[in-house]
Structure 1
Amino acid sequence: MGTKCPKLKRPNGGWNSAHGTWAVQTELPRRPSGTRRQARRIGFDTQEAARDHLDHIKTVLGVAEGDGQAAIKAGDLIEQAIRKRTHLPGTDEVRRRIGGGADTRETVPTVGEWLNEWLAGKKKLAASTRLSYQGHITNYLAPHLGWVRLDKLGTGHLQTMFEAIEETNDHIRTSRASDDAQVRASVHGMRTVSVSTEHRIRATLRSALSAAVSRPDLPLQVNVASHIELESAPGPKPVVWSAERVARFRKTGEVPAPVMVWTPEQTGRFLERARRDRLYALFHLIALKGPRRGEAVGLEWDSVRLDDGAIGITTQVVQLGWDTAVSTPKSAAGRRTITLDEDTVDVLKPWRKRQRQERLKAGEAWVESGRVFTHPDGTGLHPGWVSGLFCRIAAEAGLPPISLHGLRHGAASLSLAAGVDVKVVSSELGHSTTSFTQDTYQSVFPDVAKAAAEATAKLLPLTKARSAD
C-alpha cells in the first residue's frame, strides 16, 4: 500500500513512527492482586532485535526459578522498565533485587534492628557524625519506628513520627507560655525539635534504608524516606540584641531567635569584663576573627606566626557528648589561614609569654599539648568548659545571652558591616561559598552603618586590648 497505508498516521494526524517496525508482547507473572499483565514494547527495526528483547525478558523471569513471589518481583521490575522506557534490568540486578542466588535471612529485621546493624557497620564515620546518627536513632527513629518490620515500613509510619514530633513541640511551646508555674516547670530543660533537625533525622533514615535496598539478603525495594516531604529548613539568620529586644527579654525571659548576636557596644562590654580573666586572649580571638570554638581550642603554636600576623587552622577539638576528639576540618575550605589585626597580635604576644612562665612554674607537672590556649598546667581546654566560662563572663557583664558560637556570628557581621569584601570574610570563616556567608552572617548594625569603611577592629569600642594580669 506504500504511502496510502492508513496506519502510517495516528488518529490525531501525527506520524506513526512505530508502523513498519517489529513489536514484542508476552505474558508476565500475574500481579499480587491476581490481575493479568503483559510486557509489550514496539519499535524494533529488525526481527532479530525484537527476538533478543523477548529472550532477555524470559532470561530475567528465569532468575525466579519457580519461586512465585520472586517471579512477581521480577515481573514488577520488567513492567517498571517498560513503563519508564528504560533498559531492562540485567540478571545480576534482578538477583540482587529479589534475593535470588543470595543468602537470605531467616527473619526480616525490624527497623530498629537494622538501624543498629547499619550504624555498627559504618566503620569510617567521623566520631561527631556517628554521635549525631546515634542520637537520631536513640531519640527519634527507634522509639517511633523501631518496632516496624523493615519491609513493612511505609510513608505513613514516617508521617506519624514527624506529626508526633510536632505535637511534642506544640506541647513544649504551650507549656512555656502558661501562667501556671508548675506547667512551665514540667517542660523545663525540654527542647523543641527544629525543622533543620527533622531534615537531619530523615537524612539518617534515608541513608540507612538506601543501604538496606542495596542488600540482596533484605527484601526492601523502595526507600520510603525519599518520598516524605518536610517543611523547608532555611538556616537560622543571626538576630541582633537591639535595645527593644533586650527590654523584652528582661521582662519575659524569651530569647527572640535561635541565633543571637551582640551589638558592637555589647561585644565591647563583654571584652572589657573578659580582660579580668586569664583566657581573655581566647575570647578576643573569637570575637574579632571568628574561628569556631573547636578550632580555637585546638589551635597549636606550630600553626601561629605572630610576626607575620597569621594563624593556620588545621585541627579542631570536637565534643562527643562530654568526650572530646581531635580531628581535621571537614572540608578543604575549613583548612585555612586567618590574618590577624595588630590588636589581636598584641593580645597573643603577652599571652604566649604568660604561658611560658606557667610552664616554668609547673616544672615536671607541665603537660605539653602544644596548644595555644591551655589550663595553667598545660592541659588542653574542654570545649564545653570554655562555653560555660563564656556564659559566666557574659552574665557578670549583664549582657543578654548568646552562645559562644554567637561571637563567631558577630565577628562575621562586624567584618561585613565594616566593608570587608565578602570573599575575604568567607575565606577566613572557612565557608565553601560566599553566598552562604552573605546570607547567613550579614546582620545589620544600625549604629555602625555609617562606619562601613572602617576596619573590623575599629568597630568595637575597645581599640587596644590588654592581656589579663
Structure 2
Amino acid sequence: MWGYQIELPVRPRQTRRQLRRSGFDSRDTATSELRHARSLLELADGDTDLAAQIGDLLHACRPGTPLPDRDAVAARVRAGVPASVPTTTGEYLTAWLAGRRGLAEKTVRGYSDHIRQYLIPHLGTIPIQSLRTSHIEAMFTAIALKQDEIRAARASTDPHIRAMVKGVRPMGASSMQRLYATVRKALNDAVIRSKLIPSNPALGVELPSGKRPRARVWTAKAVQHWQVTGNRPSPVMVWMPEQAGRFLDHAERHDIALYAMFLLILHRGLRRGEACGLRDHDVDLDAGYLTVVEQITTVGYTPIVRPVKSDAGDRTVPLGPKTITALRAYLDIRRRWQHVNGNQWPYTGRFFVRPDGNAWHPQTISDRFDRLVTKASLPPVRLHDLRHCAATYLRHGGADMKEVQETLGHSTIGLTSDTYTTVILELERGSADAVADLIPRDKRAA
C-alpha cells in the first residue's frame, strides 16, 4: 500500500496541519494524487489568504473521497468566490430559488416543485463545481424509467397494481421540458450571476420534443374505439358540434349555476381562469362584447387573482345574440340568488359566482364539468378542450385564422394554426368530392 503527506497552508494562530492519504494500490496512483493536491495549492499564486482557503478545502476531504476538481476550484478563484466553501447543487438550488424576485407565484411554485421533487433527490449531493452533463442526463433517464413504470402499472390487468398508482400522473414530454427549463435557468445563473461554474452542463442535454399534441376529433369511429379500449386518440380531443350541443343541453338541465359559463367558454374560447376572473364591468351585454383582463388561477389549491397571461390575452371579445341571451338569463338567475341571500350576499364584483355569491374555485368548475360529461355519456374531453372546440368551430364556420387568434388571445398566429384548428372530418365530407366533381368522366365506363 502506498500513501503521501503534504503540509497545508495555515492562517495566523492556526497550528500546523497536513493532508495525509494512504491505501493506494501503486506508487504511481499516490504520486498522481499528490501532484493534484499541489496543483490546487499552486492556484493561490502567493495569496496567503487564498492558500489557507485551499488548505481548508483539502483538509476537509475525507479519506477515500476524491480531491476537489482543479478546474472547478480555479473557476471559483477567478470569480472571487471563497474556494474553501464547497457548494452542493442542492444548496445552490435552494439559495437560488430564495433569491429570485419578481416572479409570479405559479412560476415560483413550479420551480419549487421541480427542485424539491426531482433536482435535489437526483443531483443535490453533487458539488455544483463537479456537476456534469452526464449527471443531468442520468437524472432524466431515471425519471423516464420511473414514468414508464407508472404507465405500465396503470395499464396492468391486476387491480392491486393499478391501485398503487391511482391518482399518479406520469410526466409527459412537455413536463420534462419544463423541468429541463428550470435546471437550465438555475445553472445559467450559476455561470452568469454567481460565477460558481465556468459553463452550463445542462446545455448538452437532449430530450424528446415537448411539442403540443395535435387535437383530434371525436368521430363516430373514434368514439367506438374508445368505448372498446378506453383509449383516447389524443390527449387533446374536440367534440363534434352535435356532441357539444348534447353537453350544453345536459348542463342546462342539471347544473344551471355553471351552464352559462360553460356555454361562454364553448362559444368564445375563454380559458377557465379568464371565465372565473370576469368582472361585472368587463361584460357589456347591451354593446355585445366582453373584455378579458383578469384571471383566477391556482397555486397548489390556493386561488390567485392576476392579470391575463400576455398582452394578446388582454382582449375584447364580441358576443353573438345566442350567447347574449344565455348570459342575460344567467343574470336573472343570479338576481334571484341575491334576493334569497339578502344581506348575506357578498359583493365580489365577479360576473360568474356561486349561488351564495362567492367566487368559484377554478378546480370546482373542472370537477363539475367532468361529472357532467360522464353523466351525459359523452366521450371525455377536458374543460380546456372547449377552447379547442370553439377555435375549430370558428374556423370551419368561416372565420379566418387572424380572427381565431384574436378571439382566443394567442400571441402568435402560428400557435393558433398548430394547436387549435384541427379539421372536423365530418364537416369536410361535403367537399371531399370537390375535385372529382370537376373532372368529367365517360358515364359509359364500367
Q: Distance in 1 between matches of 2:290 and 2:159?
A: 50
Q: Is the 8 A contact 1:358 1:377 kept in 2?
A: yes
Q: Distance in 1 between matches of 2:186 and 2:274?
A: 31
Residue 46 of structure 2 corresponds to 66
Aligned-partner SS, 1:394: helix
Q: Distance in 1 between matches of 2:402 and 2:388?
A: 16
Aligned-partner SS, 2:358: coil
Aligned-partner SS, 1:275: helix
Distance 1:420 1:105, change over 3 A: same
Distance 1:434 1:33, change over 3 A: farther
- Amino acid corresponding to residue 151 of structure 2 in structure 1: R
- Amino acid corresponding to residue 241 of structure 1 in structure 2: W
Q: Deviations over 1:384-424 (max 9, x none)?
A: 00001101111111112111001111111111121211101
Residue 252 of structure 1 corresponds to 229
Aligned-partner SS, 2:167: coil
Residue 274 of structure 1 corresponds to 251
Is 2:90 the partner of 1:112?
A: yes
Alignment of 1:307-386 (within 5 A): 307-386=286-365
Unaligned runs of 5+ in 2: 1-32, 37-42, 52-73, 432-446
Is 2:176 the partner of 1:226?
A: no
Shift of 1:101: 7.7
Is 2:385 the partner of 1:411?
A: no
Aligned-partner SS, 1:390: helix
- Amino acid corresponding to residue 46 of structure 2 in structure 1: G
Q: Distance in 2 between matches of 1:128 and 1:109?
A: 28
Shift of 1:366: 0.9
Distance 1:111 1:98, change over 3 A: closer
Aligned-partner SS, 1:369: coil
* Identity value in percent: 41
Q: Distance in 2 between matches of 1:265 and 1:405?
A: 18
Residue 133 of structure 2 corresponds to 155
Shift of 1:97: 5.6
Shift of 1:33: 12
Residue 124 of structure 1 corresponds to 102
Residue 434 of structure 1 corresponds to 413
| Alignment counterpart, residue 145 of structure 2, candidates 167, 172, 194 | 167
Q: Distance in 2 between matches of 1:356 and 1:195?
A: 47
Shift of 1:450: 6.2
Unaligned runs of 5+ in 1: 1-31, 36-62, 72-95, 453-469
Q: Distance in 2 between matches of 1:350 and 1:179?
A: 48
Q: Distance in 2 between matches of 1:373 and 1:418?
A: 28
Is 2:374 the partner of 1:395?
A: yes
Q: Is the 8 A contact 1:199 1:233 kept in 2?
A: yes
Q: Distance in 2 between matches of 1:355 and 1:272?
A: 20
Q: Is the 8 A contact 2:131 2:201 kept in 1?
A: yes
Is 2:179 the partner of 1:201?
A: yes
Q: Deviations over 1:200-258 (max 9, x none)?
A: 11110111111111345x53111111121112221111111222222222222223321
Q: Distance in 1 between matches of 2:215 and 2:47?
A: 60
Q: Deviations over 1:254-277 (max 9, x none)?
A: 233211221111111100001122
| Alignment counterpart, residue 191 of structure 1, candidates 169, 180, 187 | 169
Distance 1:353 1:210, change over 3 A: same
Q: Distance in 2 between matches of 1:309 and 1:450?
A: 34
Distance 1:299 1:241, change over 3 A: same
Q: Distance in 1 between matches of 2:430 and 2:291?
A: 29
Q: Distance in 2 between matches of 1:378 and 1:195?
A: 40
Q: Is the 8 A contact 1:355 1:376 kept in 2?
A: yes
Q: Distance in 1 between matches of 2:90 and 2:224?
A: 47
More moved, 237-246 vs 175-184: 175-184
Q: Is the 8 A contact 1:291 1:429 kept in 2?
A: yes
Aligned-partner SS, 1:311: strand
Q: Deviations over 1:143-192 (max 9, x none)?
A: 21112111111111111111112211222232333333333333322222
Q: Distance in 2 between matches of 1:147 and 1:388?
A: 40
- Amino acid corresponding to residue 226 of structure 1 in structure 2: L
Q: Distance in 2 between matches of 1:203 and 1:163?
A: 16
Q: Is the 8 A contact 1:297 1:317 kept in 2?
A: yes
Distance 1:101 1:404, change over 3 A: closer
- Amino acid corresponding to residue 240 of structure 1 in structure 2: V
Alignment of 1:27-46 (within 5 A): none
Q: Distance in 1 between matches of 2:349 and 2:234?
A: 38
Residue 178 of structure 1 corresponds to 156
Q: Distance in 2 between matches of 1:379 and 1:314?
A: 20
Aligned-partner SS, 2:87: coil
TM-score, scaled relative to structure 2? 0.77
TM-score, scaled relative to structure 1? 0.74
Q: Is the 8 A contact 1:64 1:100 kept in 2?
A: no
Q: Is the 8 A contact 1:297 1:380 kept in 2?
A: yes
Alignment of 1:281-320 (within 5 A): 281-320=260-299
Distance 1:415 1:64, change over 3 A: farther
Q: Distance in 2 between matches of 1:335 and 1:306?
A: 19
Q: Distance in 1 between matches of 2:216 and 2:151?
A: 20
Q: Is the 8 A contact 1:237 1:259 kept in 2?
A: yes
- Amino acid corresponding to residue 236 of structure 2 in structure 1: V
Q: Distance in 1 between matches of 2:354 and 2:348?
A: 10
Distance 1:329 1:243, change over 3 A: same
Distance 1:33 1:354, change over 3 A: farther
Residue 220 of structure 2 corresponds to 243
More moved, 278-287 vs 138-147: 138-147
- Amino acid corresponding to residue 92 of structure 2 in structure 1: W
